[in-house]
Amino acid sequence: MSADTLTKNSTLDLATTPLRNVNEVLQSADGGSFEVINTGGAHALACGLDSPVEVTIKGHTGYYCAGMNKSASVTVEGNASTGVAENMMSGTVRVKGNVSQSAGATAHGGLLVIEGDASARCGISLKGAEIVVGGSVGHMSAFMAQAGALVVCGDAGEALGDSIYEARLYVRGKVASLGADCIEKEMRDEHRIQLADLLSRAGIDADISDFKRYGSARQLYNFKIDNAY
């Protein structure tokens, strides 16, 4: 089946339609809703979307699902592998299962919701997007996160927020260890408002009083000779 024969509100079957054609349809659509079936763990599915389309992926996906998303709403009804929503600019990406490492890497905007757990380096080099994880995150999450927010409703692995800049981290569970220059910080009203809003948008019912906030101690912003090795 060619991409020209597929229209808005279509069911796209990866068992019969090549991935390139499926992505071409999704990228060229200026609206509408689509279901993608028989995913088979395909890599780079629903990447580079640039309009307010709604995409429901019925199954598990491989690397970089919904990467570079802009304006679209993508739901994965399964698990996602490395780099889901990588470099996202806007829109919403929701994964109903678990995700592998580097979820939301370098994402500039939009909302990424992971209902399960996330592996290592969740939110690495985050640049303004907001990530809500219903479960736990692995080690080195929010490494070099520059802006945006990461909400973790479970536990966080080792070296959380290593070399962090101005991103805000909220964790309900235990933190195995904090990375360089990351410290626990005061939870003020503005942070409670932000956290409550993110949980509401993610559809997660959690008491904001259970969370602690972490962020930059701002000791690595300028060169100090004592930090040289």
Q: Map out the domains of the chain as residue ranges.
A: 40-203
Look up residue 222 and give its DSSP letter: S
| Per-residue model confidence as pLDDT tens digits over 195-227 | 999 999 999 999 999 999 999 999 887 767 776
| Per-residue model confidence as pLDDT tens digits over 85-118 | 999 999 999 999 999 999 999 999 999 999 999 9
User: Over 60: is that where the pLDDT of 83 sits?
Assistant: yes
**Cα 148 from Cα 14, distance rounded (Å):** 34
Here the tokens at position 229 are 């090795």
| Per-residue model confidence as pLDDT tens digits over 39-65 | 999 999 999 999 999 999 999 999 999
* Residue 165: per-residue pLDDT: 96
**Cα 17 from Cα 31, distance rounded (Å):** 20
Here the tokens at position 124 are 């690495």
* Mean pLDDT of the region 63-87: 98
Handedness of CA 214, 218, 220, 226 (dihedral sign): negative
> How far, in Å, are 87, 123, 150, 191, 221 from residue 164 at the CA level?
18, 11, 12, 17, 10
Q: How confident is the model at residue 169 (pLDDT cuts 50, 70, 90)?
A: very high
Here the tokens at position 170 are 């909220």
Q: Residue 97's CB: how many other CB atoms inside 10 A?
A: 16
> Residue 67 in contact with residue 86, Cβ under 8 Å?
yes
Bin 4: left if φ > 0, else alpha if -120 < ψ < 50, else beta.
Answer: alpha
Q: Locate all alpha helices (DSSP H) within the chain, ordered by sequence.
A: 19-28, 189-202
pTM to 2 decimal places: 0.94
| Per-residue model confidence as pLDDT tens digits over 1-31 | 444 455 566 899 999 999 999 999 999 999 9
* Residue 221: per-residue pLDDT: 77
* Residue 1: per-residue pLDDT: 45
* Residue 2: per-residue pLDDT: 46
Which backbone phi and psi does 61 adopt, to 5 degrees?
A: -125, 160
User: Over 50: is that where the pLDDT of 170 sits?
Assistant: yes
* Residue 225: per-residue pLDDT: 72
Beta bridge partners of 95: 76, 114
Q: Which helix (H) or strand (E) holds 216?
A: strand 212-216
CATH number of 40-203: 2.160.20.60
> How far, in Å, are 6, 15, 44, 155 from residue 41 at the CA level?
22, 12, 10, 27
What is the total residue count of the chain?
229
